[in-house]
A and B are shown apart, each in its own frame.
Chain A
Amino acid sequence: MAYDSFIELTTTAVPLPIENVDTDQIIPARFLKATERTGFGDNLFRDWRYHTDNSPKNDFVLNNPTYSGKILLGGKNFGSGSSREHAAWAVYDYGFRCVVSSFFADIFKNNCLNIGVLPVQVSPAFLNVLMEEVFSNPKAEIKIDLKAQTITLISTGAKESFDINDYKKDNMLHGFDDIDYLINIQKEITVFAANTPL
């Protein structure tokens, strides 16, 4: 399905300075039983966020009203593990539009790009700068400019550029998805298929 376009975002951020955050933490498998794409945000980080009796764990950042915003700041190797797109859906459904990390797992990154969540990979040093600033000043705003491919910490002006391929960038800017593209070249695909050995 087509998704919201992403051009520019200026918002506060939620810091989660843990490395190797895996997709089982983002959305545990027992919440993958849905047949529609609704309600996944409620179970984002379920077992870090709630006790087994469903009461909130007060020391987890999503339960701390001090921090809010549409950017999630994650530690190195964010999104490792399963291919479940439900992890990206949970991040989106909770209200995040961008995840910033110093390193992303491949499939999670791809899934984010396919549903309109922008993964922004920054240097470890810049991630530290962002984390420290947000911890000391939770109201600190971060600006993502997709056209310019830059991420800026508004309070200090510290800035870094990030990579994204032209095709995906164009898709994000316009809210296009890959299926539209593929359906448009279906004739080329069927000709190709007719010549495959299998």
Chain B
Amino acid sequence: MKKTLFDKVWDSHVVRSIENGPDVLFIDRHMVHEVTSPVAFLGLKNRNIKVLYPERTFATADHNTPTLNQHLPVEDPLSAKQLKALEENAHAHGISYWGLGHEKNGIVHVVGPEYGITQPGATIVCGDSHTSTHGAFGAIAFGIGTSEVEMVLSTQCIMQPKAKKMRINVTGSLQKGVTSKDVALFIISKLSTSGATGYFVEYAGNVFSEMSMEGRMTVCNLSIEMGARGGMMAPDQKTFDYIKDREFTPKGIAWDKAMTYWKTLYTEANAIFDKEYSFDGDNIEPMITYGTNPGMGMGISKDIPMAKDIEGGVSTYQKSLAYMNYNEGDSMLGKTIDYVFLGSCTNGRIEDFRAFTSLVKGRKKADNVTAWLVPGSHQVEKAIKEEGLLAILEEAGFVLREPGCSACLAMNDDKVPAGKYAVSTSNRNFEGRQGPGSRTLLASPLVAAAAAVTGKVTDPRTLLS
């Protein structure tokens, strides 16, 4: 039988298969952060065992870190304790640790690719659902729970059945002002938040092959928002150019050997997928969400759908609109907003800051908007300064904060107040996601920039030269 990209990577990592049960899957790289790991380390302590392969394990602090004054002690005692626990656990087990203040610190899914920890054909896990990001490099990457974090720390394996396979093809040409984020939000709006549950997705078609690596990461990152275990794309020359000479990628003869293997990582002609979708990229508009899950998104010029036209529960739909204080049939354009968040593992990379800056250049932040611009890592922060973006942003009235997950999940102090609206480049618009009572509109960095300078939901195409 012809093999898909997913088959090739999965099958080569199966240590053993249990009949009518899961596969024992070997994990090449394990990323660890402060929130989902402490109980797993406690489990190792209780069993009196050490991390089996510390050199395959990488720890960074991101979820629970402040984005201002990182040189000072963390004020919140619970956050401080959790950060300290990660540091102590990393040291006790000989794991590389990029904590607060470390030059390599940043969001786990931003720093992994930056330093070449992420490689084609690898299996990568982390106690975070957006681990799917790393699939952009042709890796099998997915989020796991804390019990599984403990499994990987202690045995470098997890036990899961192989997922079904889905391919999503997007072809054609994207309109001006339409970004990788819009492509992903468009797909999720078509499939719903559970449309890919049980599947591992491969993205194919010229729209993805023409995307930058940053754009591909944004798409794979959002795979989980339609329920998929993960998403991946076949590696190509763009992938190899991106990872070459990064700290953890192979060098010299080892590189050549790896390249020979990586070039075999593609789906063979006539391979069978359990499900397949095809979309025309020409029809995708800049997207925005109007409800409380990422599937409740639409083209920015459209009206909020009527409850009678919705598949699924009407009462759940109405509850969602009531939370947002929006009505069926409303246009999103012109709706006043209060906050703008640029950042997260979805859109916290240099390309996202370039896009945002290109639109706010020569304009001013609207007075009614509080804007939080949070780079995904120190490397992104450095590039923002070196490329001259910071000067443009400051001229337009914006301030750059320090790296971390920040208002994406609002574990730290970056919380949107109750009842306020935030246009956010992050990944989830669940009730209270960005702070208790907060209301989130998910969008691309361009839509966020247009909202930031106008103080309301605005089609960025009307502002692009």
- Chain A positions near chain B (C-beta within 8 angstroms): 1, 17-20, 22, 24-25, 28-30, 32-37, 47, 52, 75-77, 80-86, 88, 103-107, 110-111, 114-115, 165-168, 177-179, 181-183, 185-186, 188-190, 192-193, 196-198
A111–B16 Cα distance when bound, in Å, is 22
Q: List the count of A-B residue pairs having beta carbons below 8 Å apart.
A: 203
With A81-B129, A179-B154 in contact, is A106–B436 under 8 Å at CB?
Answer: no
Mark B155-172 against chain A: 1 for CB-CB distance below 8 A, else 0: 111111100000000000
Instruction: Decide: A193 and B35 in contact? CB cutoff 8 A.
Output: no
The interface stretch among B191-199, B337-345, B453-461 is B191-199
Q: Is B261 an interface residue (CB 8 A)?
A: yes
Size band of the B side of the interface?
35 or more
Contact sample, A vs B, 20 pairs, CB 8 Å cutoff: A1-B43, A18-B316, A19-B312, A25-B431, A77-B194, A81-B430, A105-B197, A107-B129, A110-B148, A114-B147, A165-B21, A167-B20, A167-B159, A183-B154, A185-B15, A189-B26, A189-B156, A193-B53, A196-B13, A197-B257
For A52, the chain B residues whose CB sits under 8 A away are 418, 436-437
Mark B90-120 against chain A: 1 for CB-CB distance below 8 A, else 0: 0000000000000000000000000000010
Instruction: Decide: A182 and B160 in contact? CB cutoff 8 A.
Output: no
With A19-B316, A20-B293, A76-B313 in contact, is A167–B21 under 8 Å at CB?
Answer: yes
- Chain B positions near chain A (C-beta within 8 angstroms): 13, 15-16, 18-22, 24, 26, 28-29, 35-36, 38-39, 42-43, 46-47, 49, 52-53, 63-64, 76, 78-79, 81-82, 85, 119, 121-122, 127-129, 131, 143-148, 150-151, 154-161, 193-194, 197-198, 227, 229, 257-258, 261, 293, 312-313, 315-316, 319, 409-411, 418, 428, 430-433, 436-437
Instruction: Decide: A35 and B81 in contact? CB cutoff 8 A.
Output: yes
A153–B122 Cα distance when bound, in Å, is 47
Can you list the 5 inter-chain pairs with the closest CB atoms, starting with the nearest? A167-B21, A85-B145, A83-B143, A114-B147, A111-B145
Within the complex, which residue of A104, A185, A188, A196 is in contact with B28, where a contact is CB–CB below 8 Å? A196
Instruction: Decide: B155 and A179 in contact? CB cutoff 8 A.
Output: yes
Instruction: Decide: B147 and A35 in contact? CB cutoff 8 A.
Output: no
Instruction: Decide: B432 and A47 in contact? CB cutoff 8 A.
Output: yes
Interface centre among B21, B43, B81, B154 (most CB of A within 10 A): B21
For B128, the chain A residues whose CB sits under 8 A away are 82-83
With A80-B193, A81-B430, A106-B229 in contact, is A198–B119 under 8 Å at CB?
Answer: yes
A114–B78 Cα distance when bound, in Å, is 26
For B150, the chain A residues whose CB sits under 8 A away are 179
Instruction: Decide: A81 and B428 in contact? CB cutoff 8 A.
Output: yes
Instruction: Decide: B194 and A105 in contact? CB cutoff 8 A.
Output: yes
For B157, the chain A residues whose CB sits under 8 A away are 182, 189
A22–B295 Cα distance when bound, in Å, is 13
Given contacts A77-B227, A107-B145, A166-B19, 6 further A-B contacts (CB under 8 A): A18-B316, A30-B436, A33-B76, A76-B194, A165-B22, A196-B28
CB distance from A112 to the nearest CB of B (A): 9
A97–B430 Cα distance when bound, in Å, is 26
A176–B110 Cα distance when bound, in Å, is 36
Within the complex, which residue of B144, B155, B436 is in contact with A182, where a contact is CB–CB below 8 Å? B155
For A188, the chain B residues whose CB sits under 8 A away are 15-16
For A37, the chain B residues whose CB sits under 8 A away are 39, 42
For B85, the chain A residues whose CB sits under 8 A away are 35
A165–B159 Cα distance when bound, in Å, is 12
Instruction: Decide: B21 and A168 in contact? CB cutoff 8 A.
Output: yes
A188–B150 Cα distance when bound, in Å, is 19
Instruction: Decide: B159 and A35 in contact? CB cutoff 8 A.
Output: no
For B156, the chain A residues whose CB sits under 8 A away are 189, 193
Instruction: Decide: B436 and A28 in contact? CB cutoff 8 A.
Output: yes
CB distance from B229 to the nearest CB of A (A): 6
With A19-B313, A24-B431, A167-B22 in contact, is A29–B411 under 8 Å at CB?
Answer: yes
CB distance from A176 to the nearest CB of B (A): 12
Instruction: Decide: A20 and B194 in contact? CB cutoff 8 A.
Output: yes
CB distance from A140 to the nearest CB of B (A): 22
Instruction: Decide: A106 and B16 in contact? CB cutoff 8 A.
Output: no
Within the complex, which residue of B13, B15, B35, B193 is in contact with A77, where a contact is CB–CB below 8 Å? B193
With A20-B293, A24-B428, A110-B160 in contact, is A33–B313 under 8 Å at CB?
Answer: no
Instruction: Decide: B35 and A32 in contact? CB cutoff 8 A.
Output: yes
Which residue of A is nearest B317, CB measured? A19
Instruction: Decide: B431 and A47 in contact? CB cutoff 8 A.
Output: yes
CB distance from A113 to the nearest CB of B (A): 9
Which residue of B is nearest A188, CB measured? B15
Instruction: Decide: A179 and B151 in contact? CB cutoff 8 A.
Output: yes
Instruction: Decide: B313 and A111 in contact? CB cutoff 8 A.
Output: no
For B53, the chain A residues whose CB sits under 8 A away are 193
For B36, the chain A residues whose CB sits under 8 A away are 32, 83-85
Instruction: Decide: A192 and B15 in contact? CB cutoff 8 A.
Output: yes
Instruction: Decide: A36 and B42 in contact? CB cutoff 8 A.
Output: yes
Within the complex, which residue of B64, B79, B161, B428 is in contact with A165, where a contact is CB–CB below 8 Å? B161
Instruction: Decide: A110 and B145 in contact? CB cutoff 8 A.
Output: yes
Instruction: Decide: A107 and B143 in contact? CB cutoff 8 A.
Output: yes
A52–B39 Cα distance when bound, in Å, is 28
For A82, the chain B residues whose CB sits under 8 A away are 128-129, 143, 409, 428
Instruction: Decide: B78 and A33 in contact? CB cutoff 8 A.
Output: yes
Instruction: Decide: A166 and B430 in contact? CB cutoff 8 A.
Output: no
Instruction: Decide: B194 and A80 in contact? CB cutoff 8 A.
Output: yes
For A107, the chain B residues whose CB sits under 8 A away are 129, 143-145
A30–B407 Cα distance when bound, in Å, is 11
Which residue of B is nearest A22, CB measured? B430
CB distance from A16 to the nearest CB of B (A): 11
Instruction: Decide: B39 and A36 in contact? CB cutoff 8 A.
Output: yes
For B28, the chain A residues whose CB sits under 8 A away are 196, 198
With A20-B194, A103-B197, A198-B28 in contact, is A177–B319 under 8 Å at CB?
Answer: no
For B18, the chain A residues whose CB sits under 8 A away are 167
With A30-B410, A165-B21, A198-B29 in contact, is A75–B316 under 8 Å at CB?
Answer: yes
A162–B187 Cα distance when bound, in Å, is 31
